[in-house]
A and B are shown apart, each in its own frame.
Chain A
C-alpha cells in the first residue's frame, strides 16, 4: 500500500532542475527519516538520499533531499539523460508498523 504520494511524472530539459515531492502524514514522514531511491530501467533500486538529506558516497551533489513537516522533496540539478528513471521515497510508518514507499515518479529528460 502506497501511503506516500508522489507526482506520477516530471520532466525537464538537459541541464535544468526538477523537484519531486513526497507527501505523507505525522505517522510517517513527520516523525521518521526519509530515504530516496533511483530505479533505472530494468535494474534494482539504488539508495540516493538517506536521513532526509544525506548522500551515500558516490552519489553526486546534483541530488539533494529535504524535509519539512509531513512532506519531503528530492531535487535533481544539472539534469542528464542518465537520470531518466523512476524515483521513490520511503520511510517507516509508526501507525502501520510498516515501511512505506511512495507511489513513484518517472523523470523524463526532454
Chain B
C-alpha cells in the first residue's frame, strides 16, 4: 500500500522560505509512470495544484507560482521536497503531497496534509 507523509515547519515568517518534504513508502519514487506532486488548499477553499516532479528530475510548475517554486526529488531516500520563497500570508494553506499518473494525471494516493501558517 502506497503512503505519502508530509513533514516540515508549521509556521513560517513572511518573506522567508517554506520548505516541506514528502516521504513515500510502499512504492519506489523511481517508478516510471508517476509524477510526484504538491497540491495546496487555502483554509476553507478549493484545491490548487502547485507542481510535480518526475523521478529523473523533470519538473512541471503552476505558472502562477513558478518564479518562487522549486521541487526536488531524492531517489536515495525515496522522498521529494518543496521550496517556496518569499512567502506571504496568502501562502497559508494545507499542503498535500500526492502521486499522479503521467498520462491520466489522477492523484492517488494523497498524503494527509500539513498546515503551514505564514505569520510573524
Contact = CB atoms under 8 A, between A and B. Distances in A.
Contact of B63 (A46, A51, A88, A98): A98
Interface residues of B, number: 23
B13 interface: no
B46 A102 contact: yes
Contacts of B112: 43-44
Contacts, number: 67
B63 A90 contact: no
A45 B46 contact: no
A92 B47 contact: no
B106 A92 contact: no
A47 B108 contact: yes
Interface residues of A, number: 27
Contacts of B79: none
A35 B105 contact: yes
Contact of A103 (B46, B60, B103, B109): B46
Contact of B106 (A1, A2, A50, A100): A50
Interface in B57-103: 60, 62-64, 96, 100-101, 103
23 contacts: A1-B64, A2-B46, A33-B103, A37-B107, A44-B110, A44-B111, A45-B107, A47-B107, A50-B106, A51-B106, A88-B46, A90-B49, A91-B105, A96-B63, A97-B60, A97-B63, A98-B49, A98-B62, A98-B63, A99-B37, A99-B49, A99-B62, A100-B49
Given A90-B49, A99-B100, A101-B47, 4 more contacts: A47-B109, A50-B101, A90-B47, A104-B46
Q: Which 3 A-B pairs have the closest CB atoms?
A: A99-B49, A47-B108, A50-B106
